[in-house]
Amino acid sequence: MFRKKVLPILLLPLCILLAFPCLFAQAAGSGGDDRPVQTLLMYDSLSHGTRKEGNVEALQRLLASFDVQVTLKSFDKYEPDTLKNYDDVIVIRNAPDLTGPPAAYLTDLQQYRGRYLHIGAQLPEQAAQALKLREEPGGQAIVRLKIGPFTGPSIRAELFSSIVGYEGKAYGSWSSSNRPETSPYGVVQGRYGYVPFMEKGDLSEIAVSYLLRDWLGASGESRYYAVFKEIYPFSDLDMLRRMADRLYESGIPFMASVRPVLDNFDYPAVQRYLETLKYVQSRNGTIVVHAPFVASTISQDYTTLKKQMSAFVNALAEYGIAPLAVGAEMYWTYDEHYASQGMDLFDSVVMFANERIVYRTPTDRSKTFASLLYSLEAGKLQAYGEAARNTEPLPMDAALVFDFPRDEKQFRDTLAMLQNDWRTFADYKNSDHSVRTDRHEIESAHGLLQIDGKTLLLNKVYEDVDSAHTYIQEGPRSLDALFTVQNRVFIILILSTLIIFSGFLLIGYRLYKRKYIHPGRKQ
């Protein structure tokens, strides 16, 4: 009896000790789900003025679309023991003729156990051994790249080394005028990946995404979205409504990235803008708030941006419009001011390529979001010779971007391009998105839009907005009565003077006639 009572008591501490590792592992796993993947992106040169210029920026955009938080550093700013703080390391070697990586980096790389991806020349020996890589050097040649359903146009370039032997999975293929045999564009084996070359704006940028998806272990289905941008309050709003109608009738969901209005929400022009956006929303269109244009950072008030973005989102919400994302150029996510003041209201982003970089508080670490769309110009994929009826999505969620039409011809061409496209465009509001301001909470899920917990009804008829409006409010005037009496007195005096003066003119004219015109007449 004693053993039966004591034995469970003795076994209880042992069971607790055995359970601790499982509890810690579960806690670590749950914490890791909320933490974005930390990636260190290193480069030797930005290669300004060469064909490789911009490839670092292009890779930053691709990584953001895979929910990766990127820290960007050049080799000359590397500090010892940095690598161990990151899940992944990506190196771009644009200038192999420059001095190699610092000794501290090479030492840390020998001990690094995370994923490693190398783009360009001078692949480290340990990566080459893991990939069982054999290469042949190249020279000047005509290069043609293929990946998935895409084939890039032939370009003359400094030929990169050809992969002639490897272990692992190959991605794409390319051939050249010097070497008719095809060579893999890139390879992945375990935690190592290798790509001989990458350039911004051509097919190699898309090709890298196929390799990145598997190397990062990304999962889930990817989709295409149609996005219209460059929509302003002074755009042709009638054309915007017609476009929404035509796309709705064709069963094509779309997104409108609209420029914000920062003040004067009661003006008829702004009311017509809001009324049109509400109509667009009812025609299966999703509203995206495009980041304000940055002309200069000299006179910017640090707190103004967030107030202005909040004011516009609040105005939309109070008009029954539910914006679901912010559209911004990539550099906004690498700027503490723009990320915290301009983008913090949103958990979803449509990321556009940089056009004009105007930093306020730049940082080397990107801001991550729950949802981010990689954007590319509409028609770009057709330029890569894809099959006419190809419907296979890209490895990441992609937004095909159209500029809002400026005339009837562009309007017809844009509609024809969308209606003849074999792709299936996804409805953005079918995914989870949320926007929170100081006054409103906007959410979407399963095709429903909610503002402050209330579901929006999307049946809408456009209503004309009265143009009558007092743009300058009149204040109280205490001397109105005095000035009115004074004005009347002046009017009476002036009229009396004119009457008297007219009388004198008449008398003078009669005297003139008697004296000079009829001199013989008796006076």
Residue recorded with tokens 């460059």: 230
Higher pLDDT pick, 337 / 138: 337
* 69 has pLDDT over 80: yes
Neighbouring-strand partners of residue 144: 175
**What does the pLDDT read at residue 422?**
86
CB distance 447 to 440 below 8 Å: no
Model confidence pLDDT, tens digit, residues 394-433: 999 999 999 999 999 999 999 999 999 888 999 999 999 9
Return the higher-pLDDT residue of 180 and 439.
439
Q: What is the mean pLDDT of the segment spanning 33-55?
A: 88
pLDDT score recorded for residue 517: 65
> Which tokens sit at 354?
């940089």
pLDDT band (50, 70, 90) for residue 177: confident
Residue-wise pLDDT tens digits, 71-128? 999 999 999 999 999 999 999 999 877 777 899 999 999 999 999 999 998 899 999 9
Residue 125 CB-density burial (10 A; 0-12 exposed, 13-18 middle, 19+ buried): exposed
More confidently predicted of 453 and 391: 453
Structure confidence by residue, pLDDT tens digits, 238-258:
999 999 999 999 999 999 999
pLDDT value of position 28: 36
Question: What pLDDT is attached to residue 8?
Answer: 44
Q: Indicate the pLDDT class of residue 137, thresholds 50, 70 and 90.
A: confident
Is residue 509 over pLDDT 90? Answer: no
Per-residue tokens: 334: 């690498």
Give the pLDDT score at 16.
40
Mean pLDDT of 143-158: 83
| pLDDT score at 476 | 59
**Quick one: how far is CA 277 from the chain centroid?**
19
pLDDT of residue 168: 95
Considering the domain 35-216, what is its CATH architecture? 3-Layer(aba) Sandwich (3.40)
The answer to whether domain 35-216 and domain 224-455 are alike in fold is no
Q: Is the distance from CB of 117 to CB of 215 less than 8 angstroms?
A: yes
Share of the chain above pLDDT 90, in %: 60
* The pLDDT value given to residue 479: 64
- Extract long-range pairs of 461-464: CB within 8 Å, 24+ residues apart: 461/279, 462/241, 462/275, 462/276, 462/279, 463/275
Does position 468 have pLDDT exceeding 80, yes or no?
no
Please give the mean pLDDT across all residues of the chain.
Answer: 85
* Domain 224-455: CATH class, spelled out: alpha beta
**Mean per-residue pLDDT, 44-60:** 91
Residue-wise pLDDT for 212-222, tens only, equals: 999 999 988 99
Q: For position 324, what pLDDT does the model report? A: 97
With a pLDDT cut of 70, the percent of the chain lying above it is: 85
The pLDDT of residue 32: 42
Residues contacting 340, CB < 8 A, separation 6+: 306
- How high is the pLDDT of residue 474? 52
The answer to whether 400 and 225 have CB atoms below 8 angstroms apart is yes
- What was the pLDDT predicted at 523? 45
First to last CA, the chain: 162
Question: Which tens digits make up the pLDDT trace of 154-174?
Answer: 777 666 788 889 999 999 998
In this predicted structure, the answer to whether residue 472 has a pLDDT above a threshold of 70 is: no
Q: Which residue has the higher pLDDT, 485 or 441?
A: 441
- The domain ranges of the chain are 35-216, 224-455, 479-523
